[in-house]
């Protein structure tokens, strides 16, 4: 038996300040490679889009790339890539991010580009129609034209939740997307894309004083607008199991996903962390509990995975959220049997606890994952930006491996005990469209 390995930590220095217009800025210098990651994160996501406008937060993200005051359409892409960089953006439940990774001699250029669209994107009918078409193709390629499209991230929330913000399809219906107007977009920008509702992070090859001056130069004159108050999206926990199934004509094999509500990731971080570890105890690698039971012993599933948050981002999601398990079954597989075995394994963990070394090895592996994510300047910039936005604590990035390592067996047992069938929402994919 190997002795317990020491969990290491990173020591990225973190510099925070706020501009007069309310923009919060985080700088994290690390000169080990001549590259920088720049992230602008806005505190608006899928949960904030209005009824009748499903998919709008994501559509709007596309519109932020279509030009701004000093940038023609296509200019953003060309300026980033012509500087040797890469870019993207993505829309999440609670935030929307825009980012670049570039050789560090292009840092100021990236700041200029982000500032220009923070002052306001160029919203035109032509660009809107074009991007509605692009988004429809995105939905076709990721959801409609493939098996298991949107499973379970789009399919399980409406089973678990009752209110529109938490339950609706974040990719959006084609009807809603086609109904979107330029005025909707202008209103959405006005309301949510205020400097005070955003965080800017730069990580990597930078000098803090120089970078601070550049940020002030480019973002200083972004007009101050009030940040909207974030609505309360709370919903009560389930008191009885909820089940649903749907046919997927393209899917060859059955699949199932189950979710349980977890403590508030922000206000009750200490209560939440054990669930993050529990998901890995259950599913990470061949030695994980459910892997051993369902894949290797029972052979009732071919793959099983577990994670926190419908989009699989444990440290970038707010309440209400869930621990999810998902599994693909062999031909003719029995979902009931799988869920029963999951219940038995949770019981066994809750009553018997972990075996010798089991928790420590899972924690060591989680440390590797966390450290690996932060080796890339962009991974660091994005995580720090959201930690600042949701918690005001970007330096938490350095502490996560240690905090994960401090979760105790008792906490794991309690978390496992809380995943009762009567608090569960589950959805089943019926292959081939047969009921």
Partner 1 sequence: MTHVLPALGPARKLKLPRQAERTLPNGLTVVAVRRAAVPLVEVRLRVPFPRAHLARASLLSQSLFTGTAGMSTVEIAAELQTVGGALSAGLDPDRLLISGNGLVSGLDRLLELLAEVLTGAAYPGDEVATERERLADQIQLAGSQPQHLARVALLKRVYGNHPYGVQTPEAEQVRAVRPAQLRALHGERLHPGGSVLVLVGDLPPEKALDAAEKALGGWNGGGKQAVLPPAPEPRPGPLLLVDRPGAVQSSLRMALPAVPRTHPDHAALQLANLIFGGYFSSRWVENIREDKGYTYGPNSLVEHASAGSVLTVNADVATEVTAPALLETQYELGRLAALPPDEAELEQARQYALGTLLLGASTQAGLAGLLSTYAGFGLRLDFLAEHAARLAAATRAEVAAAAARYLAPARAVTVVLGDAEKVGGPLSALTAVEPAA
Binding to partner 1, residues 34-73 (CB under 8 A):
34-35, 69-70, 73
Alpha-carbon distance of 344 to 292, in angstroms, equals 13
**Helix pair angle (125-139, 56-63), 10° resolution:** 120
Q: According to CB under 8 A, which residues from 183 to 202 bind partner 1?
A: none
Looking at the DSSP bridge assignments, the partners of residue 25 are 17, 200
Shortest spacing between CB 158 and partner 1, in angstroms? 22
Q: Does 433 bind partner 1 (CB under 8 A)?
A: no
Looking at the DSSP bridge assignments, the partners of residue 90 are 97
Q: Which of 79, 92, 117, 261 binds partner 1 (CB under 8 A)?
A: 79
DSSP 317: -
Q: Which of 50, 89, 90, 138 binds partner 1 (CB under 8 A)?
A: 138
DSSP 421: G
Q: Does 377 bind partner 1 (CB under 8 A)?
A: yes
Q: Does 396 bind partner 1 (CB under 8 A)?
A: no
Shortest spacing between CB 20 and partner 1, in angstroms? 14
Number of residues interacting with partner 1: please give it, by CB under 8 A. 87
Q: Mark 82-121 with x for binding to partner 1 (rule: CB under 8 A) and - for no binding.
A: xxxxxx-------------xxxxxxxxx--x--xx-----
Integer-rounded Cα Rg, in Å, for the chain is: 22
Shortest spacing between CB 140 and partner 1, in angstroms? 5
Q: Which of 48, 91, 96, 131 binds partner 1 (CB under 8 A)?
A: 131
Q: Which is nearer to partner 1, 296 or 417 (CB)?
A: 296
| Angle (nearest 5°) at CA 186 between 183 and 192 | 135
Give helix then strand counts, H and E, for the chain: 16, 11
Question: What do you get for the CA distance between the two ends of the chain, in Å?
Answer: 50
CA neighbor of 377 nearest in space, from 58, 36, 9, 1: 36
Q: Which of 21, 90, 124, 130 binds partner 1 (CB under 8 A)?
A: 130
Whether residue 254 contacts residue 431, with contact meaning beta carbons closer than 8 Å, is answered with yes
Q: Does 132 bind partner 1 (CB under 8 A)?
A: yes
Q: Does 18 bind partner 1 (CB under 8 A)?
A: no
Alpha-carbon distance of 318 to 234, in angstroms, equals 10
Q: Which is nearer to partner 1, 30 or 388 (CB)?
A: 30
DSSP 318: -
Alpha-carbon distance of 63 to 188, in angstroms, equals 11
DSSP 254: -
Structure tokens at 155: 């399919």
**Residues 314, 315, 317, 319, CA torsion sign:** positive
Q: Does 30 bind partner 1 (CB under 8 A)?
A: yes
Q: Does 78 bind partner 1 (CB under 8 A)?
A: yes
Q: According to CB under 8 A, which residues from 325 to 364 bind partner 1?
A: 328, 330-331, 357-358, 360-362, 364
Shortest spacing between CB 93 and partner 1, in angstroms? 21
Q: Mark 250-269 with x for binding to partner 1 (rule: CB under 8 A) and - for no binding.
A: xxxx----------------
Q: Does 13 bind partner 1 (CB under 8 A)?
A: no
Q: According to CB under 8 A, which residues from 402 to 431 bind partner 1?
A: none
Spacing of C-alpha 314 from chain mean position: 7
Alpha-carbon distance of 121 to 116, in angstroms, equals 8
Q: According to CB under 8 A, which residues from 285 to 324 bind partner 1?
A: 285-287, 292, 295-296, 299, 302-303
Shortest spacing between CB 75 and partner 1, in angstroms? 8
């Amino acid at each position: 038996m190997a002795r317990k390995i020491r969990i290491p930590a990173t020591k990225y220095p973190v510099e925070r300040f706020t501009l007069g217009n309310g923009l919060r800025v985080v700088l994290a210098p690390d000169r080990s490679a001549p590259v920088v990651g720049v992230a602008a994160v806005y505190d608006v996501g899928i949960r904030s889009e209005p009824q009748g406008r499903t998919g709008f937060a994501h559509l709007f993200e596309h519109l932020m790339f279509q030009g701004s005051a000093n940038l023609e359409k296509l200019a953003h892409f060309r300026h980033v890539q012509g500087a040797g960089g890469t870019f993207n953006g993505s829309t999440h439940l609670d935030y929307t991010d825009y980012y670049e990774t570039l050789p560090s001699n292009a840092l100021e250029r990236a700041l200029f580009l982000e500032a220009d669209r923070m002052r306001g994107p160029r919203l035109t009918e032509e660009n809107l129609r074009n991007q509605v078409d692009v988004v429809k193709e995105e939905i076709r390629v990721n959801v409609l034209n493939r098996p298991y499209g949107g499973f379970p991230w789009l399919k399980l929330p409406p089973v678990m939740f009752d209110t529109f913000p938490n339950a609706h399809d974040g990719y959006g219906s084609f009807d809603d997307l086609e109904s979107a107007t330029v005025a909707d977009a202008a209103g959405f920008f006005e309301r949510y894309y205020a400097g005070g509702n955003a965080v800017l992070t730069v990580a990597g090859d930078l000098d803090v004083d120089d970078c601070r001056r550049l940020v002030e130069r480019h973002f200083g004159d972004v007009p101050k607008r009030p940040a909207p108050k974030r609505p309360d999206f709370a919903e009560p926990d389930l008191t009885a199991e909820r089940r649903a199934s749907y046919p997927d004509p393209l899917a060859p094999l059955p699949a199932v996903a189950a979710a349980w509500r977890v403590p508030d990731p922000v206000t009750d971080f200490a209560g939440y962390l054990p669930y993050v570890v529990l998901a890995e105890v259950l599913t990470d690698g061949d030695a994980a509990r459910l892997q051993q039971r369902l894949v290797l012993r029972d052979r009732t599933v071919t793959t099983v995975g577990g994670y926190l948050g419908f989009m699989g981002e444990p440290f970038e999601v707010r309440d209400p959220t869930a621990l999810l398990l998902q599994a693909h079954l062999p031909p003719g597989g029995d979902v009931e049997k799988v869920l029963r075995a999951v219940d038995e394994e949770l019981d066994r963990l809750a009553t018997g606890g972990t075996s010798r070394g089991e928790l420590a090895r899972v924690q060591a592996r989680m440390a590797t994952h966390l450290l690996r994510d932060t080796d890339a300047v962009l991974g660091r910039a994005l995580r720090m930006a959201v930690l600042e936005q949701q918690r005001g604590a970007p330096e938490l990035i350095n502490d996560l491996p240690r905090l994960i390592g401090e979760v105790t067996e008792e906490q794991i047992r309690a978390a496992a005990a809380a995943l009762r069938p009567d608090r569960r929402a589950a959805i089943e994919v019926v292959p081939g469209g047969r009921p």
